[in-house]
Structure 1
């Protein structure tokens, strides 16, 4: 299958990419994360993604989605308690639409690898946008490969962030360590 794989960051790409390739899938990665703040953090993660994909001959695609940082803030503002739902939907809807428009057989996301994401909510949203856009969602619970993935990305020296990306998660993390 020709799969468009949304990548939240380089470390989370390692295990899902390896798994999909081992199954014979043709994987193209895309980095679309308007939730990442501050902007310097966004650039740091994008740089790590770019270096990893180039060094590992990963096909990538970029898209000029309408949904950028400003739209992300507009969507999340005054809905902070539902920010993960809104954020997942904004990103996965754009990814599914892009995958369908560009002729991919399916889409997926490396967010399914993270132990820290709301896995069931993400799966539900991906299934809904899959139906909306008429493109299959390739589901895999990559959390089972967490420990293996951590060893691999550490060995590669990939930059690993300490929070999901949004300013709200950064604040929550900071409050926990104070």
Structure 2
């Protein structure tokens, strides 16, 4: 199949490219990640994706527009209108949907057989949510989604990225994940908030 492969970064593409080529697929990378913060990190991941593509002879299409303001507008709108217990899930779902929808549209417009994503290699992403989002987008855009669980090859991908001397990032990309990765005070506040919300719900159920 002639696949358009959404690339969240260079390192995450290492194993999917190896695996899909072994299966006989023709690949083109597609870098579209408006969630990445800050700007220097965005440029670093973009250039690393291009570096990887060059090293493995992978055609790549790059959307180099920095759309942090648009991402924040979408994310903060969700935060304003969402129960705190479901905030992370809904925010992540929006982020997955935006990137995969754009990939599907490009694949459809440029006559690819299907689309896929390197997101499915990460053991840290919400795999089932991404799969559900991608399958729904495939129906709306009318182009097949090529699903494969790349997680068994995650460590192999790490090894390849180290061999290729690629920059490896320590968080998923968005400003929220960066805060969650580095801020101990944020983690404590969130745990306290969730504990209080669960207690309130428990009391409400007891009163019924």
- Tell me the TM-score range normalised by the shorter chain: over 0.9
Structure 1: runs of 5 or more not aligned: none
CA distance in 1, matches of 2:113, 2:10: 23
- Deviations 1:70-94 (Å, cap 9, x if unpaired)? 3222211132412101101111111
Check whether the contact 2:9–2:49 (CA below 8 A) recurs between aligned residues: yes
Q: Which residue of 2 aligns with 1:154?
A: 162
TM-score w.r.t. structure 2 length?
0.81
Q: Alignment length, in residue pairs?
A: 177
Query: How far does residue 62 in structure 1 lie from its aligned partner after superposition?
Result: 3.2
Given the alignment of the two structures, is residue 29 of structure 1 paired with residue 60 of structure 2, yes or no? no
2: CA distance, partners of 1:152 / 1:55: 11
Q: Which structure: greater helix fraction?
A: 2
Q: Which of structure 1's runs of 4+ aligned residues deviate more than 4 A?
A: none
User: Among 69, 75, 95, which residue is 1:87 paired with?
Assistant: 95
Unmatched tracts of structure 2, length 5 or more: 80-86, 188-208
- d(CA) in 1 for partners of 2:48, 2:60: 13
What secondary structure, in the 3-state scheme, does the structure 2 residue paired with 1:79 have? helix
Distance, in Å, in 1 between the alignment partners of 2:110 and 2:136 is 19
In 2: Cα distance, 1:32 partner to 1:25 partner: 21
Q: Following the alignment from structure 2 to structure 1, what is the Cα–Cα distance between the partners of residues 73 and 98?
A: 11
TM-score normalised by length of structure 1: 0.94
- Shift in Å at residue 69 of structure 1? 2.7
Aligned to 1:116: 124
| Structure possessing the higher radius of gyration over alpha carbons | 2
